[in-house]
Amino acid sequence: AETKELPTVIWLHGHECTGCDESFIRSSSPFASDVILNMIALEYDDTLAAAAGAPLEEHLHNIIQNKSGKYILAVEGGVPLEENGIYCTVGGRPFVEVLKECAKGAVAIIEYGSCAAWGGIQAAKPNPTNTVSVSSIVSGKPIIKVSGCPPIPEVMTGVIMHYALFGQIPPLDNQGRPKQFYGNRIHDTCYRRPFFDSGLFVEEFDDAGSKAGWCLYKVGCRGPQTYNSCGNLRWWNGLSYPIQSGHGCIGCSEKGFWDNDVFYKRI
Ligand code: SF4
Ligand code: SF4
Ligand code: F3S
């Protein structure tokens, strides 16, 4: 039988925490192992690769040369620009240089996670490393924003599988995110929504409303402003998601969420 060439993927890591990789490897539908071993040719991923060091960097160089115009570039992490990008180096070079080099021959770019899509936590004010999104640095290519901190595992595999199966990027919303996964607000699919509609709100985290599972809007839930699939897909094979664990959504898939007072402060 004719064997179809698997789509080549290069996966870079910039200024980030690697939580997006951690999320990806927990995808159960499809299994991340199936994606990596049978559906794509993941030629470079510095955190998942068995090889390391100079041989791996040389392999990356060869792939960029030999597969130019054919590979998908997945990027996890923001891009620090301060002091010529020295705050994140990979293989001894500033990440921004590696990114530019790899982006040239990419057929499409996936920004995995809110770091790549919007700059992320390290871009929080006053952003000492001047970290920016991937799309602030590269342009002229189709770019898919798969935001979230991290994105849902099945969203991560779903996006790359869409490209592997159809050879094109999925339909995007006006912020560049796949409509299929970012078309609804958390608030639209929330199982606590009847409490919101009835005016039954948690006022403090240990009150009776909290124990009864009422709406978390008054304790800071950003579900009404946040587009993501957590309410319907949930996390870890449909197990749970922030709201189900008793805390409001912090809007982790939205641009600039880290500066929106969603974290606790010592007062
Ligand atoms: Fe980590 Fe969040 Fe950035 Fe992903 S988006 S690398 S989980 S900080
Ligand atoms: Fe909306 Fe949040 Fe209340 Fe759910 S908990 S209904 S997302 S405000
Ligand atoms: Fe993030 Fe909100 Fe989902 S914080 S994980 S978008 S419920």
What the chain holds in terms of domains, given with CATH numbers, is: 8-181 (3.40.50.700), 186-259 (4.10.480.10)
pLDDT at 1 over 60: no
Whether the predicted pLDDT of 244 surpasses 90: yes
Whether 231 contacts 188, CB under 8 Å:
yes
Could you tell me the pLDDT band of residue 4, with boundaries at 50, 70 and 90?
confident
* 156-162 LR contacts (CB < 8 Å, sep 24+): 156/20, 156/23, 156/24, 156/27, 156/112, 157/24, 157/27, 157/29, 157/30, 157/32, 157/35, 159/110, 160/9, 160/35, 160/40, 160/72, 160/74, 160/110, 161/30, 161/35, 161/39
Predicted pLDDT of residue 5? 86
The average pLDDT across 209-234 equals: 97
Once rounded to an integer, what is the mean pLDDT over residues 31-40?
Answer: 94
pLDDT above 80 (res 122): yes
pLDDT in the model for residue 266: 79
7 C-alpha to center of ligand 3: Å?
30
Alpha-carbon span 17 to 21, nearest angstrom: 9
Nearest CA to ligand 3 atom 3: 230
Residue nearest to atom 2 of ligand 1 (CA): 149
Question: Could you give the CA distance from residue 232 to residue 181 in angstroms, rounded to a whole number?
Answer: 10
3 vs 64, higher pLDDT: 64
Taking a C-beta distance cutoff of 8 angstroms, is the pair 107, 168 a contact? no
Asked if 131 contacts 79 with a C-beta cutoff of 8 angstroms, the reply is: yes
Ligand 3 probe mutation, 250, 262, 263, most atoms within 8 A of CB:
250
- As a whole number of Å, the CA-based R_g of the chain is 20
| The pLDDT value given to residue 19 | 97
Residue pair 126/72 in contact by the 8 Å Cβ criterion: no
64's tokens: 């960029």
pLDDT for position 253? 98
User: What residues does ligand 3 touch, defined as CB less than 6 Å away?
Assistant: 148, 186, 226, 228, 230, 241-243, 249-253
Task: Report the mean per-residue pLDDT for the chain.
Answer: 95
Instruction: Read off the pLDDT band of 236 (50, 70, 90).
Output: confident
What would the pLDDT profile of 170-220 be if each residue is shown by its tens digit?
999 999 999 999 999 999 999 999 999 999 999 999 999 999 999 999 999
Q: Is the pLDDT of residue 2 over 90?
A: no
Q: 265: pLDDT confidence band, cut at 50, 70 and 90?
A: confident
Describe the crossing of helices 53-66 and 95-104 by its angle, rounded to 10 degrees: 30
Q: What is the average per-residue pLDDT within 155-159?
A: 96
Q: What is the pLDDT of residues 62-121, one digit of tens each?
A: 999 999 999 999 999 999 999 999 999 999 999 999 999 999 999 999 999 999 999 999
What values do phi and psi take at 148, rounded to 5? 130, 155
Q: What is the pLDDT of residue 164?
A: 86
Residue 126 makes CB contacts below 8 A (sequence gap 6+) with none
Determine whether 16 is exposed, middle or buried from the number of CB atoms within 10 Å of its CB (0-12, 13-18, 19+): buried
Dihedral sign, CA of 137, 42, 108, 104?
positive
Q: Tell me, what's the ipTM?
A: 0.98
Q: Is 119 in the pocket of ligand 1 (CB under 6 A)?
A: no
pLDDT at residue 247 tops 80:
yes
- Substitution candidate for ligand 1 out of 11, 15, 16, 254 with most atoms within 8 A of CB: 16
Ligand nearest to the CA of 196: 2
